[in-house]
């Protein structure tokens, strides 16, 4: 994953702002159980625009978490769009910047009929 980024890349999300390599390290730490628990990322097909040696890919997504709210199990879903700016360098596309735009969250009880 780290090979996908340029050396001077930037990643800006709700939980992280830093370089591409730092983002890869923190993502691995999270997947190893270092933060927040398990989540499911549901990705939609990206819309990609290419102009010369630069490209913009916009990826709609939903991130799903199982959480506890006042002892009631609930499903939290965060909806966002991630924008990937890429550049063709030495014959390979590399990510220069990722920016995530968060649109909304939903929170519903996991068991129908439960009240939050």
Reported as a single tens digit per residue, the pLDDT across 18-57 is 999 999 999 888 777 655 567 889 999 999 999 999 999 9
**CATH assignment of the domain containing 87:** 3.10.450.50
Instruction: Please indicate, yes or no, if residue 54 is contained in any of the structural domains.
Output: yes
Distance CA 23, CA 87 (A): 18
CA distance 112 to 57: 37
Q: Which of 68, 62, 14, 72 shows the shortest CA–CA distance to 40?
A: 62
Pairing of strands 92-109, 5-12: parallel
The 10s digit of each residue's pLDDT in 47-104 is 999 999 999 999 999 999 999 999 999 999 999 999 999 999 999 999 999 999 999 9
Which residue range is the domain that position 74 belongs to? 2-109
pTM score, whole prediction:
0.83
The number of distinct structural domains making up the chain is 1
């Amino acid at each position: 994953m780290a090979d996908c980024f340029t050396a001077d890349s930037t990643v800006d999300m709700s939980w992280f702002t830093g370089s591409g390599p730092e983002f890869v390290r923190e993502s691995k730490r999270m997947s190893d159980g270092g933060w927040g628990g398990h989540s499911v990322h549901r990705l939609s097909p990206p819309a990609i625009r290419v102009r010369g040696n630069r490209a913009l890919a916009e990826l709609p997504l939903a991130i799903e978490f199982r959480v506890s709210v006042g002892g009631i199990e609930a499903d939290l879903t965060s909806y966002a769009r991630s924008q990937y700016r890429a550049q063709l360098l030495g014959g390979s596309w590399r990510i220069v910047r990722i920016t995530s735009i968060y649109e909304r969250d939903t929170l519903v009880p996991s068991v129908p009929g439960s009240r939050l």
